[in-house]
Each structure stands twice: as structure tokens, then as C-alpha cells.
Structure 1
Amino acid sequence: MKIRPTDDSPHVFRHRRTDAGAFAIETVDVLDHFHLDADPLHRLVVTRSSTARVERRCGRFDRRYGPGDVFLTSDPDLSYTATWTGAVSNCVLDPGLLARVAAPAPARRPEPIRFTSLDPRTPAAGEHWWTTHRYVAELIGNPEAGMPLVVDSAAQLLASVALATFPNTALTDPTIEDRRDASSVTLRRAVAYIDDHAASGITVVDIAEAAHVSVRAVQLAFRRHLETTPMAHLRRVRLDHAHRALVAADPRHTTMAAVAAQWGFTNHSRFTAVYRATYGVLPSTTLRGA
């Protein structure tokens, strides 16, 4: 990647990156105009212009963007050029993460995911992406967000929303095989795996692999038999573990926030609301033994 100013006057280029492993959150701010020539990134970079005006060329994708626009910086497998001034926010995703979210059944051959457009399906889809980006950026800025369960959940959320936001070749609707595989046997395998691995950073792909079916099939099985989703069931199991931990904890040596973060809950107000709705008391009340 080569970045250069468009004239010889002094310029300022600011870049800040928070790396969470499977993904990274970046802000880039340039004063005056810069030109960029880049080889294929082999990463999916979702960009939102904060104040920037960007002109980007990538294969057949040639567009201009202004403040508030959400777009893919490039096709991950193509080189690109861009000219811009102002600030942008980026989310960098490993394509392998996208493939795992859309993984087929273990016995079926996976197809590479290609993006057929670098723009969101709709303006509302772009806004949903930005809401998710801000939520995750705030999440990983929390000192307790280093918990593996939190980071894994955030990575999966970003990958799922990226696939929902931008047109691509990933198959998301259940096939005939998926509907056949969404059986009670699949559900039992998936539930047993969740029960045994709730303390690990498992994803819906891990659950599907354990049940020997596709992601779509395991999602359909949970909807069909339990009227929920695999990840919602996982959160319910983790909530139960957090409840039991609070019951057994000594309030002199632990906190409600520490127990919640251990089980993947970093949003204290949301955790408190869900806990109270489920158990009828505040988590702090349970911790005090009242």
C-alpha cells in the first residue's frame, strides 16, 4: 500500500487501530488530499466516512462517497486506488471469519464468498452496520472486554452483519438438505454441545459442526423445536451459569460485573435487565445473598 499527498505542501495523516485478533477497528484522519494505491488486501474492510470525501476505483467498482456513507473499501482480492480527505472509520475482518459464519455442513464442499457489490443493499442496511460497528468499538474499549467470550461474540456479530449488509454469494436461506437436517436429533446434539462448552468461545459454526449439519440447518432446528436461535440458547445457558456463580460467590472478593464478564456479558444494564426478567431479582441482590 502506497499513500502519498497530492501536492508538496505539509500534510497530516493520523491512524489509530485496535486489534482484537479476528477483527480490528480503525480510524483514519487525513488533512488535505491523499492518494492511495493498494495491492489486494485479502481482508474485508468496511468503511464509514465520518467527514471524508472519497473517490475509489476497484475493478468495475468506481464510486464517490461523502460523509455518512458506508461501503467496502475494496474487493478483498482486487487492487484499488483511492483519493480522499477527511476522517473515516474502518472495521477489518478476516475473510475466514465470514466463511465460518456462512459455513455449509461438514460433508458439503464450501464455496468461496464473493461480494457482488461494494455498497450496502439498502441505506437501512448501512445504518445497521454502523450501529453494530459503534457497539463493538465501545465494547472492546471496555477493560473487561478482553474476556475471550466477549471478543468471540463480537467477531461473529460483525461477520454476520457484514454478510447481511453487502450483497454476496453466501447461501443464507435453508436448502432442502438443511430442512431435512433440522431434526430433533440435530437439536439434541447441538444442545449437548452448548451445555458442555458454554465456558468456551464457541460460535454457531462450532455448534453446527458438533451436530454434523450446516449453520442454516442448526438455526432452523432451534427455530422449529424451541422457537429460539442457537446463540440465544447459548446466552441463556451462560446466564444460568452466571446466576449460579453469583449464588456461590463471596461479595467481599468478587463483583457482579466480574461474574457477568466471565460469562460474556459486558453491558451491565442489559445484563441486569435480562437477569431480573429471568430470576425476578437484581444480580446484585443475588450476590449479597438477600
Structure 2
Amino acid sequence: MRAELIANVASGSVGRDAPERAKAILAEHGVDGTVCAPASGELETCLTEALARKPDVLFVLAGDGTARAAAEMAGPDGPMIAPLPGGTMNMLPRALYGERAWPQALAACLTHGEERMISGGEVAGKLFFVAAILGSPALWAEAREAARQGRADLAIMRAQRALRRAFSSRLRYVLDGRPKEKAEALTLMCPLVSTGLAADERALEAAALDPTNALDIFRLGVKTVTGDWRDDPSVSVQRCRIGRAWAGGRIPAILDGEPTRLDDHVSIRFRPKAFRALALKDDAP
């Protein structure tokens, strides 16, 4: 196996010693690997160069945004991607490797790894492989990001904006040619993580969230913790292969944990073959 490993030492839980630890783990398993720790601003270039060398697998030790970017750049015809948990939320790594820390996930990939084609979704030309949230609740992610950066003033300002937008700007959407509907938010979940879909399902699970007051939000929050959120009266769940959504202005969104802003009218579609992952066999310890 020829491997490339990119470690973003400035990300979440990676650590300055990660490149040396990664080299040791690769060597211990007899893998011919190159480890790169890009400087600030060089991450995208490092990803491009690593993929151009056409390794068998590209390990990405970084945050959610980098993991999603690597999988999107590789696509279904590129090398296998192994997103190791190096960020804060680690949505894609957790979906593939559970709660393993990155050294254990790397070692498990080298001893019990297998290729698996991963499906995903696409919103406004941007791919996601775990889940996407469209609508005003996504504004809370922008407040979270400011808090993570130590900007308490900016976090408070963004939280106040999220509160003002709540219940004031509903999302319109059409899924698979069905009649137009509206909701506070639309969540799209991939088969990789959705408990409502089979692993080989060729569709996204679309959950429209339409609470009308603070009590509805509280009840939905409790049911989310208990796992019964699909039964809440403010939630409507259906399958989706293609669709579109629009609002009165730019749509706040979260794609695999990363906040972004989309145009006021976006397309939605399911991607049955998004990228090749180095996943774990069922008997992995």
C-alpha cells in the first residue's frame, strides 16, 4: 500500500507531535507512506499534490471541512480517502470509525480496512457525506464557530442574529416532484448515518423541521436526545433523490458540520457514488 497522510497540526485535536506519531504507526505496519504537515494557507495545495501522486489511500487528519474537501476532490474514481478524527465534531470520521481517537483509527484502517463506496448528497453543487441543514437554525453554527475562535463578542452577535431569524424566514422546498412545502429548516441525511435508511438505500432522508414556538423547539430537542425526533409532530420525514429549495435571501446551511451560505435558490440531489473510503470491516476490534 502506498499512502499519503496530511496532518493539519493547527486543527482541533491533532497536536504538534501528530506527524511523527503518524510516521511511526505507518512504519510499524510496513506501509510506505509520506506524511505532510502543511503550513497555514497551504492545506488545499497539499491535498491537490497528494492526490496527484495517486496513492492507494489518502489519510486526512484534520477537521470536518478538510475531510469533506478531500472526499469531494477525490471523487469516486480517485484514491481511497480515510478521514481521521482531528477536528471538533468529526462527523465523517465518527460515521466511518466510531469513537476511536485518530491513532487507533489509523491503526485499525491498516489492519482491518476495506474499500467501500460512499454515497452522498449535493446542495448547490457542494457535496456532503453525512448531513446537511438548510435554514435559519444553521445560523447557530456560525455563533459556535466564533466561540471556538475565542471571539465572544462575535459569538454573541451571531447568536442574537440567529434568534431574530428564528420563525421569521421559512424555507420553501420541492422534493422528487411532490407539491411545494415550507418549513423552518430542512435536514438531509445520507445513508451512511441515517437510522431511517438502509446502508445501500439510493436516496437521502429529508426531514423538514417546522416548530412554531419555543415550546415546540424544547420538545423537539428532548426527542432528539432520546432518539424519537422522527415522531415529533413538527417533523415531516420523506425520501429524496432530487429537489430544490429557496428562500427570501441567501440560505444559511451546515454541510457535514461546516457552516456556509448558499444562494437564495439551490438544487438538491442524491449522489450514489461520491467517493471511495477506507472503511473498517465488521470484525474490526
TM-score, structure 1 as length reference: 0.26
Structure with a larger share of its residues in helix: 1
Q: TM-score, normalised by structure 2?
A: 0.26
More relative contact order, 1 or 2 (CA 8 Å, 6+ apart): 2
